[in-house]
Amino acid sequence: MDKLSPVTPSAAEALAPLLGLVAFLFSTLVYYSIKAAIFGRKREAYIENRERTILAKLFQEWWIWLWTPIERFCLRLRISPDAITTAATFVVAVSAVLIAFGHFSLGGWVFLFGSSFDFIDGRVARATGRVSRAGAFLDSTLDRVGELFFFGGLAVAYRDSWVLFAALVAAGASTVVSYARARGEAVNAGATVKVGGMQRPERIVLTGIPCALTPIFDLAFGVGAGRTAVSVALAVLAVLTTLTAIRRTWSIYHALRVQDPTPAQPPFRLADVFGLESARRKKAAR
């Protein structure tokens, strides 16, 4: 790897808006953490039912709290959950195009913005009594489409690097993780459909944040450090998502094997192995 070039002061000044945005988000996280410590956490059932992952539950609650004004705005305008889901997929597709053309930071922020609608559409549906199987199907399907779009953008951006294979593996494993859950729920595998630490929120964070912060990595460690950070994140994501896919598939398979009734097995006879019994019956039939 070539030696990373230093970032000039003028480049650092150009990052002022990005640094301001990061400072704002960090300050709101600190504020929410202090508020939660004093008055208690506002526990969300959806978050509490998730198993512990690399994404702290306090962090997830903070992100939902941060997006509360957007949620209220959608409710005030009576925007349908399906419209939110569709718009989110379009935004994520735009982020994939930005990533493919090398605009990692902008693409990362657009991706985080679009992906955050993944929980807003469900909350709006519950608040307005519009929860439906059709909406759940559309949401789940378009989530997969958006995720594949983003991994496709990363694959194009790294088409001349080994990172291309990490992006493809991550995309394939992510699809298996989501499909295993959907199929497991369809055949009633119980709570095992949600096992595994690399679920969609974790995948969003592990890919979106490194992309969004590439200029800051460049500022701190030299030009090129940002893309290197994204490469490392993708490699880690590919490994962890593959492990999650394997664990979830095995857990669902095992749960269904336990639920399935054990079929009655005929007694084992050595004559059947060599076809002697079948030959005897044919001879007797003549």
- Render pLDDT for 224-267 as a digit per residue (tens, 0 to 9): 899 999 999 999 999 999 999 998 888 888 888 877 766 655 65
- What's the mean pLDDT in 27-53? 81
- The three-state secondary structure class of 264 is coil
Instruction: Name the CATH superfamily, with its identifier, for domain 36-260.
Output: CDP-alcohol phosphotransferase transmembrane (TM) domain (1.20.120.1760)
Q: What residues are paired with 5 via a beta bridge?
A: 223
- What's the mean pLDDT in 272-281? 56
Residues catalogued as catalytic: 143
For the cut 50, the answer to whether the pLDDT of residue 34 exceeds it is: yes
Evaluate the CA torsion angle 197, 203, 207, 210 in order and state its sign.
negative
Evaluate the CA torsion angle 114, 108, 172, 178 in order and state its sign.
negative
Q: Which of 63, 207, 210 is nearest to 148 (CA)?
A: 207
Q: How do the domains of the chain map onto residue ranges?
A: 36-260
The pLDDT value recorded for residue 1 is 40
For residue range 133-191, list pLDDT tens digits in order: 898 889 889 999 999 999 999 999 999 999 999 999 999 999 998 888 888 877 776 66
The pLDDT value recorded for residue 10 is 54
The pLDDT value recorded for residue 19 is 86
Calculated CA dihedral for residues 63, 211, 228, 242, nearest 10 degrees: 70
Q: How far apart are CA 23 and CA 38, in angstroms?
A: 23
For residue range 91-111, list pLDDT tens digits in order: 999 999 999 999 999 999 999
pTM: 0.83
For the cut 80, the answer to whether the pLDDT of residue 276 exceeds it is: no
